[in-house]
Chains A and B, each alone.
Chain A
Amino acid sequence: MNTENSPLKTTRSGVALPLREVPVLPLEALHNAVADGVKSQWRVSSLFAFRRDGEDAAHMMAVLADDAASLLRVGMARIEDTRYPSLSNRCPQVHLFEREMHEQFGLVPEGHPWLKPVRYARPFPGREPRAQNAPRIGAADFYHVTGDSVHEVAVGPVHAGVIEPGHFRFQCHGEQVFHLEIMLGYQHRGVEEALPGGPHKRSLSHMETLAGDSSIAHGWAYCMNLEGLAGTDVPMQAQTLRGVALELERLANHTGDLGALAGDVGYLPTMSFCGRIRGDFLNLSAAICGNRFGRGLLCPGGVRSMPNEEETAQMIERLGAAERDVREAVNLIWSTPTVLGRFENTGTVPRKLCVELGLVGPAARACGVEADVRVNHPCGLYERAPIRLRTAHYGDVNSRASVRWHEMEESLAFVREHLDTIPSGPIRQPLGALAPDHVVATLVEGWRGEVCHVALTGSDGRFLRYKITDPSFHNWMGLAVALRGQEISDFPLCNKSFNLSYCGFDL
């Protein structure tokens, strides 16, 4: 399609530009630019609304990722009428963004295939309660299938295990799932609503806890946005340690997921081993900063702590031990036919659907889609030391498991190499004042996939709007389609193979 003449402004992840340089298009032109972009393999990283001070009319801003060119494309439109023709039918990957803008700003996408609440949240900026007649969480109308032997299964919000809350509604025929509807919002804590007027002294904590198993990924995106807005250069030492910390986060979570996948098919050796080894990786993060989730390590301008030579040597030794253990534990999966028999051809997402829905992270790479921010939009350490992108083919549970393992192999080598070569020197730079009336978008490849943060500053150099898109926002729909035609008893396995964040979605 014609993207050479795209009216969108070109920028890069983490690079701030004056808001006035972002083209303000008629809404139809913005929609066309997004749809044309998506046709030529750009992805919608974020699509959100905001209001400028003293203005009633909202603006819509689109941030597209052009992976092949390592560029971001940004454009916006002024919304003159709160009702507008929906883009979702032409471009399915915006369906949830349009629902979100409806919930937050009352913008009605006419013709949207299914306009329902996203988080059962108050309208932006979140101070007014929801309307009395607004649908209540847990009590809304679900998609309903009727017929002979058709039945409905409701699960959650409180699940059997120690996990976060969400509601799943299955329409089944016998054991077979016709349709899975996922209702989220139970974890909504008002993170985005708290950010305008910031950065506040709590903002970094909000980033580290908005999806607490991805503290480094979200913390990094936030720091990089501030650094972009302030024009602060992060010392190389800090860039390297950030890369190491992000890969440790990936290692810990992938290890946990592979163990849990084994557990979900009743293969206990790998489950038991990985449950413990996951802790070994968390403890390596704790060795750097004192917190197993890496909280308190990142700060705008750099990092707060750096392992000394002796600590580094110990960490490399412990990393080696963890690697030996995890290799053995995970390789048991690939040599056990009963496990593979349950993983293969379960919960398949066809590649075409994956691209259409705009899935990200291991879920997309398991379908053979080469989307990885570390490779396509590299920053910091990844720019200097490229990491290899790994994919699988079939889009099933087995592919999502094997992609995780291959990524772990890359991460292990990456951490080992870079932990040992961190140069000495300053680890942080003071952050300058944020540029007023600017916009910056940062992409970071968290262990679940693309984390996208967009910051807009007002004339006072404070946040006018701060938009967060967790990878789970893109991927929950992937889980829903993976379940179609599956046995309902395979739900835990399929769910774990995505292992999406509830709070990262709910914000």
Chain B
Amino acid sequence: MIRALWARRNQGHRTMAWPNGPAPALPARFRGRPAIDPARCVAGCTACETACPTDAISVTDRHRIDLGRCLFCTECVEACPEDAIHHERDHRLSVHHRDDLSVAPAEALKLAHALESKILRVLGRSLKLRQVSAGGCNGCESDVNVLSTIGWDLSRFGIQMVASPRHADGLLVTGCISENMREALLATYAAMPDPKIVIAVGACAISGGPFAGHPQQHDGVTGFLPVDLFIPGCPPHPLTMLDGLLRLIDRLPQSADQAAE
């Protein structure tokens, strides 16, 4: 008991100050949105498009990148003979509409906005989420779990992961929606009371990710359920997830709505 108390003293208070204080440091090699500088592109070059494992880049369509397909890997950056692509450091990537994830180089991302006030009123100051992994690789699931640890302490925003769909206001989906999990996912959604929201986390839930096109799965959740928040990444950084969730429930202070250092 004394040892536990002593350890508690040594380990200290570790919940981050963000969003009311500084954000946790992102790694120096943090891979955010891939930014293409079309001015440096050589006419006719499609190296990035060809290299992209998930066909997220379209050179012919104004160098658009679909962040919903993007694995934030480095294949395009490495393939570019002109060094015209780099990863931005901005962690803010969550959007409200699927189409908003498809962006041309100079285009700003239309970041997610708060839910309708009617729904926010029903939710009050709490948001209970039921997480379902349907073909997820335990990457997104692990970093969703991280949000509930003492460092991130999701519950200080009234957000909690719950066991029963009956207690849930929202469904947080990860994975490409494997055919074998489809029925269980839809049954879980059906068991949730209205009004209910859906959050798609990770490239798989948004587009099928690396498994897109496989007959064993369904290219993400959009074909089945209406999604209110898309959080792209493979997996998204916990800060990206938290930013998205706070946007949705209108709890992100303006001071925190900027790229982290």
B-contacting residues of A (Cβ < 8 Å)?
119-122, 126-127, 137-138, 157-158, 160-165, 185-191, 193-194, 201-202, 204-206, 209-213, 215, 256, 269, 272-273, 275-276, 278-279, 283, 286-293, 295-296, 304-305, 311, 325, 328-329, 332, 335-336, 501-503, 506
Contacts and interface: CB of A to CB of B under 8 A. Distances in A.
A449 B10 CA distance: 33
B195 to A, nearest CB: 21
18 contacts: A119-B180, A158-B132, A162-B131, A165-B133, A186-B181, A187-B175, A187-B180, A188-B179, A205-B234, A209-B211, A213-B138, A287-B29, A290-B31, A295-B234, A296-B73, A311-B28, A325-B11, A332-B3
Interface in B137-176: 137-146, 148-151, 161, 163, 165, 175-176
A178 B205 CA distance: 38
Contacts of A305: 29
A283 B27 contact: yes
Contacts of B38: none
Contact of B78 (A272, A293, A304): A304
Given A137-B180, A189-B211, A211-B137, A272 B145 contact: no
Closest 3 CB pairs of A and B: A212-B137, A212-B139, A290-B29
Interface in B175-224: 175-176, 178-181, 183-184, 188, 204, 209-211, 214-217
B232 interface: no
Interface of B: 3-4, 7-8, 10-11, 14, 27-31, 51-54, 71-75, 78, 87, 131-146, 148-151, 161, 163, 165, 175-176, 178-181, 183-184, 188, 204, 209-211, 214-217, 234-235, 237-238
Contact of A194 (B10, B137, B140, B214): B214
Contacts of B28: 287, 290, 311
B107 to A, nearest CB: 23
A286 B233 CA distance: 14
B210 A209 contact: yes
A161 B164 CA distance: 10
In this complex, which of B51, B87, B144, B210 has the most chain A Cβ atoms within 10 angstroms of its Cβ? B210
Contact of B181 (A157, A204, A272, A283): A157
Contact of B216 (A161, A190, A202, A283): A190
A202 B28 CA distance: 26
Contacts of A189: 135, 176, 178, 211, 214, 216-217
Given A162-B161, A296-B73, A328 B7 contact: yes
Contacts of B163: 160-161
A156 to B, nearest CB: 8
Contact of B29 (A187, A204, A289): A289
Nearest to B7: A328
Nearest to B10: A328
Contacts of A325: 10-11
A289 B188 CA distance: 37
Contacts of A269: 4, 7-8
Contact of B146 (A120, A193, A194, A279): A279
A162 B137 contact: no
A287 B137 contact: no
Contacts of A137: 180
A164 B136 contact: yes
B134 A165 contact: yes
